Chain A
Amino acid sequence: MGLKAPAHAAALITKGILRIMGRGATTLPGKVAIKMCPDIINKCARGKKIITITGTNGKTTTTHMITSMLRSLGYEVVTNVSGANLASGIATTFLCEKPSRGADPEKTVYVLETDEAAFARIAKDLQPKVCVVTNLFRDQLDRYGELTHTRDLIAKGIDATSAKIVLNADDSLVASMGKTRAERSSYFGISLKTMLENNQLHPNNTILEASSDAAFCPECKVRYNYNARSFGHLGDYKCPSCGFSTPAKRFELSSDASGNPSDIGFPFDINDTKNDMSCELNLKIAGSHNLYNTCAAVSAVTTFLENDREEEAEIFENVCKAQENVEAAFGRMEKIAVGNKYICILLVKNPVGLDRSLSFVAQSSDADSLMLVLNSNTADGKDVSWIWDVDFESKVDDLPQNIYVSGERYGDMMLRVAYSGRTVDGYGTLEYATTLLKGALADCPDGKCIYILPNYTAMLDLRGRLVKELKLKDFWKD
């Protein structure tokens, strides 16, 4: 038993104290337990069925979708609070989040959102059945460093396990991890046909291309040729030197390019090319990037079930049916009613997140105002220059009529908006944010929505103010 029992007790006591103090207990109990028993994760994870979700963007949403689908399929699921995705948060999850009493361990799954660097260290201890890698985009580079380095870290973690790996085929950095692990890799992505139709219908009309990641094959140092693009460096690519190209996808998503993926209910198909089966689905959480997250979740759950109870037929169809029950209400892309109007907070942490959120708002039919909130604390990345990597220029014409900026670095964001060719309608530090918001709400027609795009600490600060100053109920999760 070693120190597991006292460490567990200490974790629970810490959790109790934090609860009494009215503070969230998402990471500190695990931190205490790891101090007392450094191999606590190994001990806790032993014998458990685990799915990990890692990658730069979409971890939280994909984790939520997998959790929801497995529950619909009759599994007991234990999952971490989003953001608590380092070793400490995962240890906390094992120690403090228990399956319900009497749950069959054979039908209990731990669905764990895992930070990229943490994954490299704890994958060996977790021994997951399935590892999902969503994508790799530049994040806060002053904190995370090089993208190829992050990829190598994840690969190192994978090699310490015998897990099945579910990889985004459209991301060359992610897909390259399957090259030497072919027998246990399966790929998901968007069909070439859908990408081509999208590119044709929505040609990129920017005045200056966005800063791209992974334009070159890191092995050959040769530029990839793209047949079609999805967003960022995601697309259908091929290295003219080594021939590495978008791998054949087992789970392939197709949709009608004329539809609007910013609408909940946007219809699309996922084709299981291995079994030549296709399912019609509806987007449960709006935003084109959630097409990828849904496809990742369907791929992961199908892969997990095939390994968990291989005798069963119709797994893929059942998984697709379970997707129908995924709920949008979990703090991402969620609209909060304020009288007859709405506000919607979209957390943006890095260039691709801001790019996708701006596209989402530009395509949203109910958008009345946009509020961008920028901080530069350690958790956000101290450097705000990343806002210039994002292509506002191609989207400004479709952004809402009113644009407000706030946060500790509102000046930088105001100038970013101005240089895209739009003027802001109001600006100020966070102390002034609710005043701006009240004004925006007063001018907002009934039924319309104010979209707020904060980065991390800006979101935490703003949420507190919305509860205190606008008397909104705090039903957001991190």
Chain B
Amino acid sequence: MEKLIIGHFYPDLLNLYGDRGNVLALMRRATLRGIEVEVKRISIGDDVKNGDIDIGFIGGGQDSEQNIMADDMKNVKGDVIKQMIEDGVVFLTVCGGYQMLGQYYQEHGGNRIECLGALPHYTIGEKERFINDTVYELELNGQTIKVAGFENHSGRTYLGEGEKPFMKVIKGHGNNGEDGLEGCVYKNTYGTYSHGSLLPKNPAITDMLLELALKRKYGEDYELPELSTEVEDLARKQALDYIEGRQGIQQ
């Protein structure tokens, strides 16, 4: 088998709130299945072409760091990223990364910052920040899965035409605190506000992304080998117990 290539965009600038854990989760659940993985760091000054990567990951950063990479993303890598998204390359984008794929970010009380425009959503900055644990529901392969996470954002994101929500909010605010929706899906690109990190505790999402990428690589008949989710399930259950207030002595 060929290597699975994960493209980690701007890892030295967009690396807040455990973004690294998502890349680690993809690496781990692929490696344990005997799939060789390579992580390409794609930051300012690094070249990337359509076809170079199987899964792209874009995290979030501090404002000052997002200011540093914003030009590069729009003017240097923007067209390639758009092309990859249209071609169905698998992408996971979190918080700042999710916002930046959209149309624009309207700062609280002023400035409208043009974003990449790869996806139709847009974001409005508000004064109040949503900082809390989150629980979402994800429909996946005919099953409803509870997802545990954490959100920390002042932007309210509104989905556009052709985009579907990624998950439904059970606890927390999600995209905007109004419509009960969390994240976006467009072709094989996923956006979310969920930190946590998202993937380690929610291996169904990790596996979904891996399978999508590997099907693209080896054809629709490819099936991801079975792999236990025991330790992840235990961690998710404990986090959900904590978040939903089912506390007490646990061992």
Q: Which residues of A line the B interface, CB within 8 A?
A: 138, 141-142, 146-148, 207-212, 215-216, 218, 221, 223, 376, 382-389, 393, 408-412, 414-416, 418-419, 426-429, 431-432, 435
Interface residues of B in 1-37 (CB under 8 A from A): 11-13, 15-21, 23-25, 27-28
Pairs A–B under 8 Å by Cβ, sample size 8: A146-B63, A208-B27, A382-B150, A383-B152, A385-B18, A419-B200, A428-B249, A428-B250
Judge whether B21 and A388 touch: CB under 8 Å. yes
Judge whether A431 and B45 touch: CB under 8 Å. no
CB closest chain-B residue, reference A413: B235
Judge whether A415 and B20 touch: CB under 8 Å. no
Beyond A146-B63, A223-B12, is A385–B249 a contact (Cβ under 8 Å)?
Answer: no
**Chain A residues whose C-beta falls within 8 Å of the C-beta of B248 in the assembled complex:** 429, 431
Residue of A210, A218, A415, A435 touching B235 (CB-CB under 8 A): A415
**Chain B residues whose C-beta falls within 8 Å of the C-beta of A389 in the assembled complex:** 15, 17-20
**Chain B residues whose C-beta falls within 8 Å of the C-beta of A210 in the assembled complex:** 20
Residue of A142, A208, A411, A432 touching B239 (CB-CB under 8 A): A411
A213 and B26 alpha carbons, distance in the complex (Å): 23
Bits for B181-203, please: 1 = Cβ < 8 Å to A, else 0. Answer: 00000000000000111001100
Give min CB distance, A96 to chain B, whole Å: 35
Judge whether B39 and A142 touch: CB under 8 Å. no
Bits for B50-67, please: 1 = Cβ < 8 Å to A, else 0. Answer: 000000000000111101
A386 and B24 alpha carbons, distance in the complex (Å): 14
Given contacts A385-B197, A389-B17, A414-B238, 10 further A-B contacts (CB under 8 A): A138-B16, A147-B62, A211-B11, A223-B12, A409-B238, A410-B238, A411-B234, A412-B235, A428-B251, A435-B251
Judge whether A221 and B67 touch: CB under 8 Å. yes
A410 and B201 alpha carbons, distance in the complex (Å): 13
**Chain B residues whose C-beta falls within 8 Å of the C-beta of A148 in the assembled complex:** 62, 64
Judge whether B231 and A208 touch: CB under 8 Å. no
Judge whether B12 and A388 touch: CB under 8 Å. no
A101 and B43 alpha carbons, distance in the complex (Å): 61
A432 and B63 alpha carbons, distance in the complex (Å): 41
Residue of B13, B24, B236 touching A215 (CB-CB under 8 A): B13
CB closest chain-A residue, reference B22: A388
**Chain A residues whose C-beta falls within 8 Å of the C-beta of B200 in the assembled complex:** 388, 415-416, 419
Interface residues of B in 122-143 (CB under 8 A from A): 131-133
**Chain B residues whose C-beta falls within 8 Å of the C-beta of A411 in the assembled complex:** 201, 234-239, 242
Judge whether A429 and B250 touch: CB under 8 Å. yes
Give min CB distance, A221 to chain B, whole Å: 4
Residue of B25, B27, B131 touching A142 (CB-CB under 8 A): B131
Give min CB distance, B94 to chain A, whole Å: 10
Q: Let me know if B232 is at the binding interface, CB within 8 A.
A: yes
A419 and B131 alpha carbons, distance in the complex (Å): 26
Candidate in A386, A419, A427 with the most chain B CB atoms within 10 angstroms? A419
- What 7 pairs between A and B have smallest CB-CB spacing? A411-B238, A388-B21, A385-B18, A388-B18, A428-B251, A211-B15, A415-B235
Give min CB distance, A207 to chain B, whole Å: 7
Beyond A414-B231, A429-B249, is A409–B242 a contact (Cβ under 8 Å)?
Answer: yes
Q: Let me know if B75 is at the binding interface, CB within 8 A.
A: no
Give min CB distance, B50 to chain A, whole Å: 24
Which of the four size classes fits the interface of chain B?
Answer: 35 or more
Judge whether B23 and A208 touch: CB under 8 Å. yes
A210 and B24 alpha carbons, distance in the complex (Å): 11
A205 and B12 alpha carbons, distance in the complex (Å): 18
A386 and B21 alpha carbons, distance in the complex (Å): 9
Beyond A146-B63, A414-B231, is A385–B150 a contact (Cβ under 8 Å)?
Answer: yes
A408 and B247 alpha carbons, distance in the complex (Å): 9
Q: Which residues of B line the A interface, CB within 8 A?
A: 11-13, 15-21, 23-25, 27-28, 39, 41, 43-45, 62-65, 67-68, 131-133, 150, 152, 195-197, 200-201, 231-232, 234-239, 242, 247-251
CB closest chain-A residue, reference B21: A388
Judge whether A382 and B131 touch: CB under 8 Å. yes
A262 and B150 alpha carbons, distance in the complex (Å): 35
Judge whether A388 and B20 touch: CB under 8 Å. yes
**Chain A residues whose C-beta falls within 8 Å of the C-beta of B247 in the assembled complex:** 408, 429
Judge whether B24 and A388 touch: CB under 8 Å. yes
CB closest chain-B residue, reference A385: B18
Residue of B18, B21, B242, B249 touching A431 (CB-CB under 8 A): B249
**Chain B residues whose C-beta falls within 8 Å of the C-beta of A376 in the assembled complex:** 242
CB closest chain-A residue, reference B11: A209
**Chain B residues whose C-beta falls within 8 Å of the C-beta of A209 in the assembled complex:** 11, 41
Beyond A382-B133, A432-B251, is A215–B25 a contact (Cβ under 8 Å)?
Answer: no
Give min CB distance, A170 to chain B, whole Å: 18
Judge whether B197 and A388 touch: CB under 8 Å. yes
**Chain B residues whose C-beta falls within 8 Å of the C-beta of A218 in the assembled complex:** 64, 68
Judge whether B231 and A418 touch: CB under 8 Å. yes
A87 and B138 alpha carbons, distance in the complex (Å): 46
**Chain B residues whose C-beta falls within 8 Å of the C-beta of A412 in the assembled complex:** 201, 235, 238-239
Judge whether A212 and B133 touch: CB under 8 Å. no
Judge whether B18 and A415 touch: CB under 8 Å. no
CB closest chain-B residue, reference A428: B251
**Chain A residues whose C-beta falls within 8 Å of the C-beta of B133 in the assembled complex:** 382
Residue of A216, A385, A426, A431 touching B65 (CB-CB under 8 A): A216
**Chain B residues whose C-beta falls within 8 Å of the C-beta of A414 in the assembled complex:** 231, 234-235, 238
**Chain A residues whose C-beta falls within 8 Å of the C-beta of B239 in the assembled complex:** 409, 411-412
Judge whether A216 and B13 touch: CB under 8 Å. yes
Residue of B19, B67, B242 touching A408 (CB-CB under 8 A): B242
Candidate in B28, B39, B152, B231 with the most chain A CB atoms within 10 angstroms? B231
Give min CB distance, A350 to chain B, whole Å: 13
A209 and B10 alpha carbons, distance in the complex (Å): 12
Give min CB distance, B65 to chain A, whole Å: 7
**Chain A residues whose C-beta falls within 8 Å of the C-beta of B62 in the assembled complex:** 141, 146-148
A148 and B15 alpha carbons, distance in the complex (Å): 16
A118 and B85 alpha carbons, distance in the complex (Å): 46
Judge whether B132 and A382 touch: CB under 8 Å. yes
